[in-house]
Amino acid sequence: MSFVDTLYGFFLCLLVPFYWHYGKFTPAFNLNTQGNVTTAKVDMNDSSESTQKRRQCLLLLASLFFYALLQIYYIPFLLLAAFLNYRLAKAMEARFRGCLQPQYSQLSNQEWEEMQRFWNSQATQILLIGIVLNVLILIIFRYLPFLFGIIDDILNLPLAQFSSNWLRTNLIVPLGISFFTFECIAYLVDVYRGAPASYSFLQFASYKLFFPKLISGPITRFHQFNTQLKESQALTNPLFTEGLWLMACGIVKKALIADSLGIFVDLCYGNLERAGSGDLWLAIIGYGLQLYFDFSGYVDMARGSAMLLGFQLPENFNSPYFTTSIAAFWRRWHITLGDWLRNYLYFPLGGSRKGLMRTCINLFLIMFLAGIWHGAAWGYVIWGIIHGLALVIHRLTEQVSQVFTGFGRWWKTIPGTVCAWMMTQFMVFLAWVFFRLPNVQQANLVFSRLFNHRADVQFAHKVYGEALGMGRSDLVWLVLALVMTMTFLYLVKRGLKIELSSSVKIALVPVCIFVVWILAPGGGLPYIYFDF
């Protein structure tokens, strides 16, 4: 069951009213919010604590039901992994509080400091155990076949080759395992840094398995989510409207735009030997757009679903294809992953506090790890290396611009801005080739045929004529129209700062659904980020 399935619509239609009725909240639809997304505190018919427990139980059961329709056999594993992280955080917090126990109040300052160092060292050991366990889970499910393959390539061991092939054939990766482990690591580190641990496993599990974000994010911190979970909120009219509007936008992005582009991209990348240079360039642009609309559409529907239940998940995209530097791109593409990498890798490594050379090494390292996180294949590694080098070059360029002020001023002119935008997006879209084709040989074939390579005689007829029902020029115009529409909406939102009113949004929701029902390709494609 995915967010664009009719079954998911029925699931939400049953869950949302039952959730608010079961929690004994009174909907507040007449608040004067002036179009802003808000929530309101209301009186409940019973105690706040019992209401919270009912809400948490219902969220957990709904999330388990949602995941059971996808991979029911991994539910015990997810619950066990969540319980282990819950217990580790509780143990870590207990160690921090150990030195505050009454029996230690009579100790001298020196003895108290030694006792504090002892408890802190134990908390550090628990943190390391938790991080290692989560990383091991990720390695076993995502990287073990890849590692056995590397061992076979280096040592030529038949057992390693057999193990790699067997695992690739028989091991099914749990959906959302990467996002699951990243959130667990973030939770443990936050508790280690002084944030309170969850007071109950039900509370933690209802956050950890919350179905809108469970499979592909956005990556959400426990304490941000738990603050909303504990508040007594009502479903306000603006929150309800914004939730429906986000879901409608997500359906259009995914089912109408991303899936339509995906048909051509799959046909072109699936027939590399027959595609011509023009077809490959069109596929490169098409995949970059497909990936954005596919993932941002998922996040819109995830955030919209959460809003209908009173939660506001973090944004994950902010017009990344209109950025003029790779650093700005990563501040606006997969925002929650960028925040995770920055807070839990880049800053602990020293960030930019230890000189230019160390900063460049840190930037390269976090993007290298980001590439590995996305998948166990050399293409993802190369993709991470490209983005790491791009971040290093950008940082060095900033340093040069500070020394040669004329050079720095040129980048702020209109020609400099356009040049920076073109260079950034050219690099981003070309790097997506390794993302779409993690098999390096296939990716190299694409790059070797980007210029002066004619397509097979039957390629245009089969792909454009039979599969798409249009010529290549027609597809080019459609892609251009899509880009122009994105540009127009970006300028309206950013430049004129115009937002649709709630009444317009609620009126457009059924229009969006009807347009998708009429024009979207049948069948639908799986979410790209379900593989990560």
- Residues with catalytic annotation? 374
Q: How many CB atoms lie within 10 A of CB 146?
A: 20
> Could you please report the per-residue DSSP string of 350-403?
TTTSS-HHHHHHHHHHHHHHHHHHH-SSHHHHHHHHHHHHHHHHHHHHHHHHHH
Residue 30: exposure state from Cβ atoms within 10 A (0-12, 13-18, ≥19): exposed
Contacts of 378 (CB under 8 A, 6+ apart): 438, 440
CB 318 within 8 A of CB 328: no
Residue matched to tokens 């390579």: 453
Tell me how far the alpha carbon of residue 50 is from its chain's centroid.
Answer: 33
Q: How many CA atoms lie within 13 A of 147 on its CB side?
A: 9
Residues found in the chain: 532
d(CA 390, CA 388): 5
Tokens of 500: 């649709």
d(CA 244, CA 258): 20
Element (H, E) at 40: strand 40-41
Q: What percent of the chain is helix, strand and coil (3-state, nearest 5)? A: 75, 0, 25
